Each structure stands twice: as C-alpha cells, then as structure tokens.
A and B are shown apart, each in its own frame.
Chain A
Amino acid sequence: MERQVQRLRQAFRSGRSRPLRFRQQQLEALRRMVQEREKDILAAIAADLCKSELNAYSHEVITILGEIDFMLANLPELASAKPAKKNLLTLLDEAYVQPEPLGVVLIIGAWNYPFVLIMQPLVGAIAAGNAAIVKPSELSENTAKLLAKLLPQYLDQDLYAVLNGGVAETTELLKQRFDHILYTGNTAVGKIVMEAAAKHLTPVTLELGGKSPCYIDRDCDLDIACRRITWGKYMNCGQTCIAPDYVLCEASLQDQIVQKIKETVKDFYGENIKESPDYERIINLRHFKRLQGLLEGQKIAFGGETDEVTRYIAPTVLTDVDPNSKVMQEEIFGPILPIVSVKNVDEAINFINDREKPLALYVFSHNNKLIKRVIEETSSGGVTGNDVIMHFTVNSLPFGGVGASGMGAYHGKYSFDTFSHQRPCLLKGLKGESANKLRYPPNSQSKLGWAKFFLLKQFNRAGLLTLLVACLAVVAAVFIKASAKPSRSPRPQLASCLERRDPDVAKWGSGKRDLCGAQLSCQGWLRPNPKLQGSRCLFGVQIET
C-alpha cells in the first residue's frame, strides 16, 4: 500500500497531471468509459442493490455524465488564476490567486450509491490536477470489482488507482499520508478518518449522514407533497443519505398523509411491490436486521412486511412516533418513514434545533415566508423547499453537511475547489527600490503616517480620485510658488524632489523627512498630518497653500 501511494506521488511530482490538456484527456477517457461500459456498470449496480438498470442509470450514471460535461466545459475558467484587488503598495505588481492541485488524494466511497459516490469526487480530483486513490465500499462488491477493472483501462495508471478491501485495508490505507481525504459514510467512521488524517495534517471532506427532517405545513398541497416525499424516501429503498428521514406535521394532517403516501406507493410500485422492478432491496443482512429492529413496538400505518431471504422491506409509514424511540435516535437509512406530530412550526423548528444538524432539510408549504423562516431559524447541509432530494441535482449548489452531517462540500465548481489549494501570488519587479524605503528601518513618525496611507487605502475609485486631486494641488502649488518667486534657486521639479534626496532640495525645503527618504515637504505644503495618526483611513497628507 505504501508503495502504491509512493508510486502515485512520484507520478504527481513529475507534474504530468497538471496541464489542462492532460486533465481534459483524462476526463474524456472517463466519459468514454461510462459510455462504452454502460451495460457493465448498470449490471454491477443492479447486482449490488437489486436495482433496475433504468434506476441505476437515472440515479447514478446520468449524474456522472453531467458532472464530466460540466468540468470539461468549465475547466479552463476554474483552473485560471483569479486576479486580486491591490492596494497602493502593490499597485504596480501582479497579484492573483492561483488554484493548484494538492497532490495525492484519497476518495472513500459508500455502498448506497457505489458508482456516483466514487466517480463524482474523482471527476473533481482529476479536474483539479491531482493524483487519486479511490477505495470503493466493500459492501457493494460488484461495483467495487468493476471499478478496479475499468478505471485502469481508461485512466493513467500511474496517477489513479483503485484499492479494494474492508476495514483492515482501509485502516492500513489511512495510515498513509495523503494530501486530501474525501470520505462518504457515517459519523462514527468520519471521526476515525479525521483522527487518522490529523496525524499527517491532511485536510478532510466528510460527507456524512443524519436524520433529515421533512416539515409539512398545513397550508400546502398534500397530494403533491406526499408524491414527492414518497419518491425521495423510497428511492433506493430508503438508502439515500439525503432522503427525508422523518416527517414533522400537525397531528391533524397525519391520517391524510398516510393515506396519500399509501396511494402513491401503489401508483409507483403497483399492488405487489415485491414484483416491482423499480423497488430495491436492503444492502445486507446486518442492515436488514437493524431496520427490522426499528419497526419493533411501533404503530405501523401501512407496510411493515419484511422478507429476510431477499432482504425486502416494504415501504412503511409509522404514525404517532415517540421522539425518544429508537427509530428517532439513529439515521434510518431504509424504507421506513416515521411521522412525528408537532403543534406548529415553532415546535417543529425547536424539534429540529434540539438535534444534530442534518444533511438535508425539507419544508412543504404554499407560504414562502414560512419556508424562509424555517431556513432562517435552523441549520442543515442543504435545503429543498416543496420538494426533496432535488438540491443535490443542481451542481451549481455545493453539496455537503454541517456539524454532525459533515464538513466541506463538493459537486461542480465546489469539487474543483475542494481538491485545489488557492495559492496567493504576488509578483513584483526588482526595480523601484527607492519606493521601498518607507518600510525599512530606521523608522520615524512620518513613516508611520505614510504606512497608514498606503496600507489603509482600499484601492477604490474614490481613493484614486482623492489622490489625483491631491497630486494636482501639489503640482499647482509648486507651480504657483515657482512662478511667483522666480529668483529663488535652485528650483527642482516636484518629480525629482519626490524621487531623490537632493542636497539642494534639503536646503530648499523645510527639511522634514518623509518616508521615501526624500525631502517632500516643499515648504510645508505637503506633510504628514500628525493629527491623523492612529485613526482610520487617512489619506495621511494635508495640503497647504
């Protein structure tokens, strides 16, 4: 394993992964892989989760194609240096923020969307110019094996590698040093990953889960709300990290909701759900048992049938659920939807805020103000109003958790940023050293005034204008003085007076030193204002005529 990481690091050090052209080629190869091997990919996902190929396509493959297209279209823009605003001190220099790759990154996927949760981060890692090791979940073994076979056929083998294995291998893998780790999975393992990362000071993105609440307001089209919730909850047999975990609503709505979800389930999956090609199964026996346990002692409004052999659990709704019961203590991650009644939206908000911050939050209401209020007064990774899941599909939105539901975000541009270091660069010339004198010791009071002037000026148009006016005033003053007393000599130009400490100027001026070391205070017309020191924003000069 160590050798593997070493090999990738060597390849990264060669700089091969950096040119835009190379990244584009790899992304194109990835797209080719998805297109050419679509059948194999769909079959592997189908085998892991008993998913119909149609579902596999729309749940997983389509997302990746969209992401690759986005990256290819936007890569030149994303990878370009962003110019930074300058202040007076750096006005003549080049200042920009350059995104650069981090190095060798590790991507650990989860089993519930075994393809997309590996591939989507990988697209970001490649786009940002990194080398990457991906570790698919061992629980979705068909997809894991397929990725290990396909990725090396299409991608540069020295830069991208697939490692398969279980807990022991992952533990070993985490001992290696990476430049970034993106982990998708559960909170407990998230902590382990971050602790392992801390040993090498590796930054992490943790995509965890949580109980995503779904509040249904009284003022809402229940038919539509229930249809959308049914879709999002039972998709992938409830094994979706952003699925609505439980419903919060007023007690009076409960029966209607149950009825409508029941009808929708029939619409979607037919009379005999077991036969429906659109309904998946639980990933393994352990999770099946866990879910069975959650049903114990609950009031089942409908569903509740289970079949251990095929790991089938029917779409289930629980009513009058006690917030202290087990089903409300852990992320359900299965086709079980508890309904918890609350008196009003205030109680719902409190209910949500009393728990860990969820990955997603859903609110259904005709009343936009209410939706905004719920958003305002709660926190969650993401929010969709009047629908579920859909914020995930918009890749102009960052996808990620907060608090117990994770840290960091990805998708689209955010993936690129996650796998990039934003390096600030300031490029100066070696000329104009005299202008630097202001910052070198020995220090003086007037230097202080000038330092303030240069540092405090946010360079904006108003500031520029003030400066211009000041300069003009100085020039005019010099000119007037000069023409008024032609007999005085020598009469150096203001420019040279600013430029150099001319011994003649020293005599001619009143002798105040300025920060350039030049004799600037032409008879006191221009001098640092002592009153202004220590205060904000000063222009630091005062004009007298």
Chain B
Amino acid sequence: MTVGGAGPRMLLCLFNICHAMGSRMDPFEEKLRRLKEAFKTGKTKSAKFRAEQLRNLSRFLQHNSKQLRDALAGDLGKSALESDISEIILCQNEVDLALKNLQTWMKDESVSTNLLTKLSSAFIRKEPFGVVLIIAPWNYPLNLLIVPLVGAIAAGNCAVLKPSEISKNTEKVLAELLPQYLDPSCFTVVLGGPEETGQLLKHKFDYIFFTGSPQVGKIVMTAAAKHLTPITLELGGKNPCYVDDDCDPQTVANRVAWFRYFNAGQTCVAPDYILCSQEMQERLVPALQNAITRFYGDNPQTSPNLGRIINQKHFKRLQGLLGCGRVVIGGQSDEGECYIAPTVLVDVRESEPVMQEEIFGPILPLVTVRSLDEAINFINQREKPLALYAFSNNSQVVNQMLERTSSGGFGGNDGFLYLTLPAMPLGGVGNSGMGRYHGKFSFDTFSHQRACLLRSPGMEMLNDLRYPPYGPWNQQFISWAMGSQSCTLL
C-alpha cells in the first residue's frame, strides 16, 4: 500500500531531480532563455542600441589590442603585422563601415509596384532574425568571430558566440574581456569543445553562422534542419592557383608565397596548390626559393614573421604530407615548436594525400598540366573551391579561367586581396559553403527581408475585377493591368 502510494510521488521526485540535473548539465539553456527574452523586449532593434554596441566592440578592439596580439602570437605565432592586418584592422574596418552605414542599411527599401497595386506602398523591411549563433574556427580566431558579430549586431540580433577551443589564448581573451564591453543580456560567449558544441546545436537558434570544415558543416546543417534554422556555412577546400607561361615568375612567386605562407598556411582562402606547365615549374621553383629567403631569411625557423602550426594534431598531419612527391624547398619540421618550414613539393601525384585534402599548412605542391584546358578540367573535376587564383599577363587566360570554372571567390594575378574589400562578399559555393558575408552582405545575412505592402483601405471599386463571379472581362483586364509592368497576380 505504502509502496504503491509513494511510487508515483517518488517517480515525480526522481523526474524532478533528473530534470534539475539535466538543466545543470546543459549550461546553455539558461543563457539562451535570457537572450531570447532580451530579444523579445525589442531593445536590440533600435539604431541607437546597435550603434552603441558597435562602438563598444570598437572599444574592445582598441583597448585590448595588446592582449589580442599576444594571444594570437601565443596561439599561432602570428607576428604583430599579421595580427593587425588580418585580424584587428579588418575587424575594425567592419565595425567602422557598419557604424557609418547603419542608418542606410536599416532603412526600408522601397520597391516599385504594378498597376494593380499602384496606390499602395511596397517596401522591404530589414528585420533581425532573433538569437543567432556564431561558431568560429581557430585559424583567425578573432576575425572570424568578430566580423560576423558586427553583422549580427548591425542587423539587430542577439548573439551567442562560440570561439574555437583550440586557439585557447584568444578564446580566453574573448571570454574574459568581450562580455565587459557588450550588453550581457543580448550577447554571450560560450566555451567548449565538440561535445559542448553538439549540445549547443540541439537548441533552437534563429540563425547559425558557422566557419570551419565541410565535415562539421554537414553536422551543423543537419542540426539546423531539425529546427528549420537558416545557416551560413563558411567552409574550406583546395584552392587552385593557375600560373600561365606568360608571366614573370618572380612576381608570381612573391605573391603566391606570401599568401601561401601567411599565418603558416592556415588560411581558408590560401592558394592550396599550383597548376602550371613543366617549363613554368622550372622557372617558378627558384623564384619561390628566392621569395622565401627574402621573406623569412635563410633559416625561416628564426624569422619572427612566420607563424606556427596550431597544435600537435595538425603538425603531425602536415608532417605526413611532407612525404608526398619530392621536396624541392623546405621540408624541415620541428615538433617542439610545431614548426614546419615553408615547403614546395613537385612531382606530386593526384592520388597522394597532399592532393586529396585541404593542406592548411605551409606546404605548396606544384602540379604540372599541359594547357589551360587541362588546368580547367583539373579544377572542374574537383569540388568547387572557396577561392581560385590565376596568374597571367594575358587577360584572356584569366577571363577564361574565371568563366569556365566556379569558386567562392576569384583573384586574378593576386592572392586573397579581395578579402580586404568590404564591398566584396566572402562566401563559398558547393563544398566550400553557402551564404556570404562582409560589410553590407553581413547585414543582409543576419536580416530577414520582409516583404511589406500597404494598401489603401478605400478604392474598393478597383478591386472588383479580382472578385468572383468571374467573367472573361476580369481576365482581360487583369492581363492588361499586369501586362507592361513587372508584376504578377495570383
């Protein structure tokens, strides 16, 4: 009897305990609830709030530039110049651009109407999605978190920021200092590895912005599908770099080497491999050697300008890749420092690992092709890359490469310089991702474009033509009214 009576109550108790434990085990639930509530109050929607937060972000970048530089140096051995131009300045640029254009971006966009709706006002309202999640990787741990955040703030969203746990120095600075600058009820930094991220992704967000690898991209998209959450995926890929015979090898070598070895090759838009003719290869290798020596000295390991590999796991992976083909430049590595010398490989076979995966390190394989056509075929047989580079004095060669291939972005006769232009979107296509951001594109990414049509409440006579009962004249009239204009009727 007593047992029977206590049973359900005990179960309930147990349930409550489990429930309590469950919520304790899920550290995100409480934070997310708070953000959702804050968004509901509508406080993030005012231009004033957005500008204030952006200015705070700007202050964060300025006040803490030393800590940030140190953290980046600690994580990736970045030199001050690299930290500045690839992280801090670009973030600052985005903040400034957003602050300058906020009012314009936020404005309702008026659009034309057709005859049937001539007396109405039609406009597109840019409204925030709600609570967005931004997941950043470790290779540009500051830039790839802050730049999307600028868009999210400018568009009036609340945001959950998940810096990479691998770049732990930067993660620490972000987790400790960033919340001091931003409104804590609307923005939060969450920490954790794959397990925590998996847990985080179970929650419902209104938008997810992910930068990382295609494999994890698929996991993120699958998780997003459960809640019908729209996503932007910024992934990677093997970015080809075609070098035509008609160009100065030293110039090409300078530009390619710089972009390849920048951040020790750990850049998603870096040229991954070179496609060129056998003759070009022979001219290019000494030129590359020359460039590397000039940039990093005779012993690159002592150069303050060359970064290090993020961790042992990636170091080992890259060390394995050094065995592919034949090393003509570099090839040295030092496990203690996670150092891999700027390396050039030749005689690489397509089936070797270095041509199968994104390299993401200071290794540059040269693959020889006989012609431009062969190069284009080579590229088109593979996944669409995030970036594609072509070098030639002949603009027709560059244009052919551009027209007959597909890639996230394209650089003619230079590396990923287009990233420095906020007027250019950054984003992949196919396996290299979906969606785009930077500047106004970030704002659009984090905004729902809401179609609004305000009709006059009067003039009902004009509507009679669309109401049943229908006669042939309705059809004729509607056709005519719609005819010349860019418009349609249901």
Q: Which A positions have Cβ atoms within 8 angstroms of B?
A: 13, 15, 18, 52, 54-55, 57-59, 62-67, 69-70, 73-74, 84-87, 89-90, 93-95, 97-98, 100, 102-103, 179, 187, 190-191, 194-195, 197-199, 201, 203, 206, 208, 220-221, 223-225, 227-228, 231, 235, 240, 267-270, 276-279, 353, 364-366, 368, 371, 375-377, 379-387, 389-400, 402-404, 406-409, 411-412, 421-430, 433, 436, 439-443, 447-448, 451-452, 455-456, 458, 534-537
Contact = CB atoms under 8 A, between A and B. Distances in A.
B371 interface: no
Contacts of B251: 430, 433
Contacts of B453: 382-385, 387, 390-391, 394, 397
25 contacts: A55-B470, A66-B485, A93-B414, A94-B412, A95-B424, A103-B430, A195-B222, A203-B434, A225-B457, A267-B467, A269-B469, A364-B457, A383-B450, A389-B490, A390-B117, A392-B488, A396-B122, A398-B449, A408-B230, A430-B413, A436-B258, A440-B254, A443-B304, A456-B93, A458-B93
Contact of B420 (A89, A268, A277, A377): A89
Contact of B218 (A201, A408, A447, A458): A201
Contacts of A190: 228
Contacts of A458: 93, 96-97, 100, 422
Contact of A424 (B45, B393, B426): B426
A15 B404 contact: yes
B421 A90 contact: yes
B434 A433 contact: no
A390 B217 CA distance: 38
A87 to B, nearest CB: 6
The listed residue with most B CB atoms (<10 A of its CB), out of A52, A206, A385, is A385
Given A73-B486, A269-B469, A424 B85 contact: no
Interface of B: 40, 42, 45, 58, 62, 65, 79-82, 84-85, 89-90, 92-93, 96-97, 100, 111-114, 116-117, 120, 122, 124-125, 127, 129-130, 206, 214, 217-218, 221-222, 224-226, 228, 230, 233, 235, 247-248, 250-252, 254-255, 258, 291, 294-297, 303-306, 380, 391-393, 395, 398, 402-404, 406-414, 417-418, 420-427, 429-431, 433-436, 448-458, 460, 463, 466-472, 474-475, 478-479, 482-483, 485-490
B204 to A, nearest CB: 10
A191 B460 contact: no
B123 to A, nearest CB: 8
Contacts of A402: 129, 448, 450
Given A55-B468, A187-B228, 15 more contacts: A58-B478, A64-B488, A87-B421, A103-B406, A224-B457, A228-B463, A385-B452, A386-B456, A390-B453, A403-B206, A407-B230, A422-B427, A424-B418, A430-B251, A458-B96
Given A198-B218, A407-B230, A537-B96, A384 B455 contact: yes
B467 to A, nearest CB: 5
B258 A394 contact: no
Given A364-B457, A394-B487, A407-B228, A425 B418 contact: yes
B433 to A, nearest CB: 7
Given A224-B458, A386-B454, A442-B295, A397 B486 contact: no
A276 B380 CA distance: 57
A468 to B, nearest CB: 21
Contact of B425 (A63, A231, A422): A422
A295 to B, nearest CB: 23
Contacts of B221: 194, 197-198, 201
Contacts of A74: 486
Nearest to B409: A424
Chain A CB within 10 Å, residue with most, of B224, B252, B420, B450: B450
Give 6 closest A-B pairs by Cβ, nearest first: A441-B305, A427-B412, A278-B468, A198-B221, A194-B225, A396-B111
B412 A426 contact: yes
A87 B85 CA distance: 14
A242 B475 CA distance: 22
Contacts of A279: 468
Given A278-B470, A430-B247, A95 B421 contact: yes
A429 B8 CA distance: 79
Contact of A455 (B40, B89, B225, B398): B89
A393 B114 contact: yes
Nearest to B468: A278
Nearest to B250: A433
Nearest to B246: A430
A301 to B, nearest CB: 21
Given A58-B489, A451-B85, A227 B467 contact: yes
A54 B224 CA distance: 42
A396 B112 contact: yes
A59 B423 contact: no
Contact of A70 (B97, B418, B486): B486
Given A89-B417, A393-B114, A208 B429 contact: no
B413 A429 contact: yes
B486 A381 contact: no
B84 A451 contact: yes
Contacts of B291: 440
A354 to B, nearest CB: 10
- Of the candidates A389, A421, A441, A448, the one having the most CB atoms from chain B within 10 angstroms of its own CB is A441
Contacts of A90: 417-418, 420-421
A353 B125 contact: no
Contacts of A535: 62
Nearest to A85: B423
Contacts of A54: 470-472, 474-475
A52 B475 CA distance: 12
A86 B84 CA distance: 20
A15 B402 CA distance: 13
A443 B417 contact: no
B228 A382 contact: no
A84 B436 CA distance: 15
Contacts of A368: 454
Most chain B CB neighbours (cut-off 10 Å) among A57, A203, A224, A371 = A203
A84 B424 contact: yes
A340 B24 CA distance: 39
B423 to A, nearest CB: 4
A171 to B, nearest CB: 15
A62 B488 contact: yes
Nearest to B305: A441
Contacts of A98: 402, 410
Contacts of B486: 66, 69-70, 73-74, 395-396, 412
Given A57-B475, A58-B489, A379 B413 contact: no
Contacts of A383: 125, 450-453
Given A379-B450, A391-B122, A430-B247, A425 B89 contact: no
B72 to A, nearest CB: 14
Contacts of B454: 368, 371, 384-386
Contacts of B418: 90, 95, 424-426
B164 to A, nearest CB: 20
B482 A278 contact: no
Contact of B248 (A59, A408, A430, A436): A430
Contacts of B489: 58, 62-63, 66, 393
A375 B380 contact: no
Contacts of B472: 54
A385 B455 contact: yes
A436 B248 CA distance: 15
A223 B467 CA distance: 14
A397 B90 CA distance: 33
A380 B450 contact: yes
B342 to A, nearest CB: 11
Contacts of A371: 454
A386 B490 contact: no
A493 to B, nearest CB: 25
B48 to A, nearest CB: 15
A365 B456 CA distance: 10
